[in-house]
Amino acid sequence: MSVRLFNTYSRHLEDFRPLDPAGRQVKMYTCGPTVYNHAHIGNFRAYVFEDLLQRHLEARGFVVERVMNLTDVDDKTIRGARAAGRRLADFTQVYKDAFFHDLETLRIKPANHFPAATEPRYVERMIAMIGQLEAQGIAYQAEDRSVYFRLAKFPDYGKLAHLNLDELRPSGRVNSDEYEKENIGDFALWKAWDEADGDVRWESPWGPGRPGWHIECSAMATALLGPELDIHCGGVDNIFPHHEAEIAQSECCTGRKFVRHWLHCAHLMVEGQKMSKSAGNFYTLRDLLEKGFTGREIRYALLTVNYRLPLNFTFAGLEGARAALGRIDVWVRRISDCRSQIADAGVFTGGEMSVSLGRHKNFFQALDDDLNIAGALGQLFDLIRESNSALDHGQFGPEQASELLKLWESINRVLAFEPEAAAVPAAVLALVEKRQQARADKDWQASDRLRDEIAALGWIVKDTKDGPKLSPAAA
């Protein structure tokens, strides 16, 4: 079965096929954060969903090249920098660093490219694209010296959001004289400098100013991935106007279809409202870490509802994530222990592995179906229940346990739910080093005594061909 994904453009489930004639390389663009503040976990729902998509495509043999941009110049970043009395670049750097740290905490695979809008090569490209649009009569400079995209020139505008372009024209209620644009729906490509922008300005054929948000993404996407992308993602709030505008600009410049598959995740909600900075109902990752939740628990909570369904944020949901991960941990520990036993432990009756293999297959097939993570996790928990019962009845031996662990590892490459690596205290490390010395000296008595001392500190040391391996005693 192939991977089927819901395409916002067609509003249908479609078989996923990349442009690459060999069917392997996937070009994926994901709208990244505006770095004026810490991203909230609503934003991270979008990034975790995109991470799941990438990981599942990789599990299915695709090679994903992913771009995630950083919006480091717009109204909000400029306003923030001014309020903080800092240069724009210094102000945004703090939030860029924090963002990368948060991605790591949530185990989101880093993109291949993280272009920032203010990098000179991209600003040059934005200016070149606007020039190209102007030459075609699609862009025009208005009296306010800003440059706008003339919507009337792009009849496909509105197709992604399924909007009627006529609805965007000024209605009788709006006095269009108040607008300097020709058409109220026209969007800015280049914003003329004004005093509120301070020293944030670039020279351009239209005078000093800065790029609009939409052209930033078109320029960075096409610069890094070429004129045609396989996948473009974001949250549903990005569909209009941002992604519509990206399509209009890119297609008018390249003459090619910009994106084959558009995917958008539904919002993370709090009490029926979208989690957002403006509504003030948001939590950052830091807020939740301070409350004692871990990155993987938050990842689990953000991941477990299918991406096209709204996800309601609650602390009970986070507690549920903790409990579910606890079950997975206990199960992995049991099969690991079973694998380490001597070969004649347990009497394997032969039936259980085929059940497990079936569950494993079903896990990936559920994800093939538009990333049905709820169905996939259902298969995983059935696998856990069934294999726990087989373990209880001594139906798994070390070889089967080893096979089962391999199944888990391939599932976990998609989920990234493994336990946090516990930090080993310095005192334990010192004892391990002493013990290694004792072993080198063939002082077995001292070695055993040191093992007990290590155990008394809550750690178990195992000697493997790659050297000593430590694990927490509870594991």
CA 406 from chain centre, in angstroms, equals 25
Q: Which does 221 bind (CB under 5 to 8 A by kind): Zn ion, ligand AMP, none?
A: none
**How far apart are CB 99 and Zn ion at their closest, in Å?**
15
Q: Which does 45 bind (CB under 5 to 8 A by kind): Zn ion, ligand AMP, none?
A: ligand AMP
Contact 103, 47 (CB under 8 A): yes
Residue with tokens 């005093």: 195
**How far apart are CB 31 and Zn ion at their closest, in Å?**
3
Q: According to CB under 6 A, which one of 234, 241, 295, 398 is a site residue for ligand AMP?
A: 234
Element (H, E) at 459: strand 459-464
Residue with tokens 């347990």: 346
- From its phi and psi, is residue 365 left (phi > 0), alpha (psi between -120 and 50) or beta? alpha
Q: Which does 267 bind (CB under 5 to 8 A by kind): ligand AMP, Zn ion, none?
A: ligand AMP
Q: Which does 217 bind (CB under 5 to 8 A by kind): ligand AMP, Zn ion, none?
A: Zn ion
Q: Which does 454 bind (CB under 5 to 8 A by kind): Zn ion, ligand AMP, none?
A: none
d(CA 395, CA 349) in angstroms, rounded, equals: 6
Q: Is 237 in the site for ligand AMP (CB under 6 A)?
A: yes
d(CA 438, CA 447) in angstroms, rounded, equals: 5
Q: According to CB under 6 A, which one of 42, 211, 317, 398 is a site residue for ligand AMP?
A: 42
Q: Is 34 in the site for ligand AMP (CB under 6 A)?
A: yes
d(CA 339, CA 331) in angstroms, rounded, equals: 12
Contact 288, 41 (CB under 8 A): yes
Q: What is the CA radius of gyration of the chain?
A: 27
Q: Which does 275 bind (CB under 5 to 8 A by kind): Zn ion, ligand AMP, none?
A: ligand AMP
- The stretch near Zn ion (CB under 5 A) out of 194-202, 216-224, 258-266, 431-439 is 216-224
d(CA 268, CA 263) in angstroms, rounded, equals: 16
- The stretch near Zn ion (CB under 5 A) out of 200-208, 210-218, 255-263, 369-377 is 210-218
Q: Is 31 in the site for Zn ion (CB under 5 A)?
A: yes
Residue of closest CB approach to ligand AMP = 235
Q: Is 317 in the site for ligand AMP (CB under 6 A)?
A: no
**How far apart are CB 45 and ligand AMP at their closest, in Å?**
4
Amino acid identity, position 214: H
Q: According to CB under 5 A, which one of 70, 116, 168, 217 is a site residue for Zn ion?
A: 217
Question: For residue 95, what are the CA distances in angstroms to 89, 118, 180?
Answer: 10, 15, 34
d(CA 80, CA 63) in angstroms, rounded, equals: 38
**How far apart are CB 275 and ligand AMP at their closest, in Å?**
4
Contact 234, 32 (CB under 8 A): no
| Residue 123 DSSP SS3 | helix
Q: According to CB under 6 A, which one of 38, 210, 260, 274 is a site residue for ligand AMP?
A: 274
d(CA 112, CA 120) in angstroms, rounded, equals: 19
Residue with tokens 């709204």: 310
Q: Which does 180 bind (CB under 5 to 8 A by kind): ligand AMP, Zn ion, none?
A: none
CA 351 from chain centre, in angstroms, equals 38
Q: Is 35 in the site for Zn ion (CB under 5 A)?
A: no
Q: Could you tell me the two tokens for 451?
A: 């093992």
Q: Is 222 in the site for ligand AMP (CB under 6 A)?
A: no
Q: Which does 156 bind (CB under 5 to 8 A by kind): Zn ion, ligand AMP, none?
A: none
Q: Is 68 in the site for Zn ion (CB under 5 A)?
A: no
- Binding region for ligand AMP (CB under 6 A): 31, 33-34, 42-43, 45-46, 234-235, 237-238, 265, 267-268, 274-276
- Binding region for Zn ion (CB under 5 A): 31, 217
